[in-house]
């Protein structure tokens, strides 16, 4: 075993569910895991999610997280001092993150965690795959340029021009899909991963799980959410 590659969709502060999914995968240090952003917010324990990632990386596991729009909103709220930036983040689940850290402002989140979030790349790429949180703006000549970063975090346009990314398959989170839609995507040039873990399995049929895709076998590992949930918009 080992030398496997997995992609995991939006964890959104669901640390207990995240740990169970990792246990279900049965990771080896020779495996590689891509986390597709939105590690934080909405769920009750964003702090625990980041601590788990940092601990596993420290222990030699190959965990490769990405920046999502929620990480970006937190960093903006922490840096600008603009009330509207703070309000936007809080209204999108940042309040749960503050509660999980037992702090009143993002500036009070531990510096190690802020630096971790600030260091997250907008995308990662292998010979076969392009991993990005939301998607790409394929109207640009160079969708991976700085000009395309807003789309990387926010777009919900699922279109893929594979020629602009070297014939790679794009793997994204961000937009919640049913398990059936995720399964159907496994044979396409755009693999989906976000099943809306933060919704909980009782909220919408076919959603509410944290999903890992084994990119070698194109199989899903599905872990129902066991954390408290917030039924706000994604």
DSSP 137-175: -TTSSSTTSGGGHHHHHH-------GGGGTTPEEEE-SS
Confidence of residue 206 (pLDDT cuts 50, 70, 90): confident
φ, ψ dihedrals at 35, nearest 5°: -105, 125
According to the model, what pLDDT value does residue 204 have?
74
Residue 72 above 90 pLDDT? yes
Place of tokens 């495996």: 31
pLDDT of residue 231: 54
Task: Give which of 70, 46, 17, 31 is closest to 210, Cα–Cα.
Answer: 17
For residue 151, give the nearest of 135, 173, 128 by alpha carbon: 135
pLDDT tens for each residue of 117-133: 999 999 999 999 999 99
Residue (of 157, 197, 165) closest to 37 by Cα position: 197
**Proportion of the chain above pLDDT 90, given as a percent:** 92
Per residue in 14-62, pLDDT (tens digit) is 999 999 999 999 999 999 999 999 999 999 999 999 999 999 999 999 9
Domain topology for 5-66+121-224: Purple Acid Phosphatase; chain A, domain 2 (3.60.21)
Mark 131-144 as b/e (b = at least 16 C-beta within 10 Å): bbbbbbbbeeeebb
Residue 194 near residue 10, CB atoms below 8 Å: yes
Beta-carbon contacts of 24 under 8 Å, excluding residues fewer than 6 positions away, are 212, 221, 223
Neighbours of 228 (CB within 10 A): 15
In 3D space, the residue among 188, 151, 195, 157 whose CA is nearest the CA of residue 173 turns out to be 195
State the pLDDT confidence band at 1, using cuts at 50, 70 and 90. Answer: low
> Does residue 61 sit in helix, strand or coil?
coil
């Amino acid at each position: 075993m080992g030398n496997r590659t997995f992609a995991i969709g939006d964890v959104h502060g669901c640390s207990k569910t995240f740990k169970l999914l990792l246990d279900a995968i049965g990771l080896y240090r020779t495996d590689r895991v891509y986390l597709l952003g939105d590690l934080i917010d909405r769920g009750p324990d964003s702090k625990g999610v980041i601590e788990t990632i940092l601990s596993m990386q420290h222990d030699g596991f190959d965990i490769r997280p990405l920046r999502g729009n929620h990480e970006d909103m937190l960093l903006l709220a922490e840096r600008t001092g603009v009330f509207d930036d703070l309000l936007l983040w809080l209204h999108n689940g940042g309040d749960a993150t503050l509660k999980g850290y037992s702090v009143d402002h993002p500036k009070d989140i531990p510096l190690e965690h802020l630096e971790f979030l600030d260091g997250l790349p907008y995308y990662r790429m292998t010979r076969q795959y392009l991993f990005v949180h939301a998607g790409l703006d394929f109207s640009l000549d160079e969708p991976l340029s700085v000009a395309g970063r807003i789309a990387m975090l926010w777009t919900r346009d699922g279109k893929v021009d594979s020629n602009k990314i070297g014939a790679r398959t794009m793997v994204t989170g961000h937009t919640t899909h049913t398990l059936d839609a995720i399964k159907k995507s496994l044979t396409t040039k755009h693999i989906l991963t976000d099943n809306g873990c933060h919704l909980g399995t009782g909220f919408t049929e076919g959603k509410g799980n944290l999903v890992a895709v084994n990119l070698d076998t194109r199989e899903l590992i599905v872990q129902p959410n066991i954390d408290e949930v917030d039924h706000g918009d994604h």
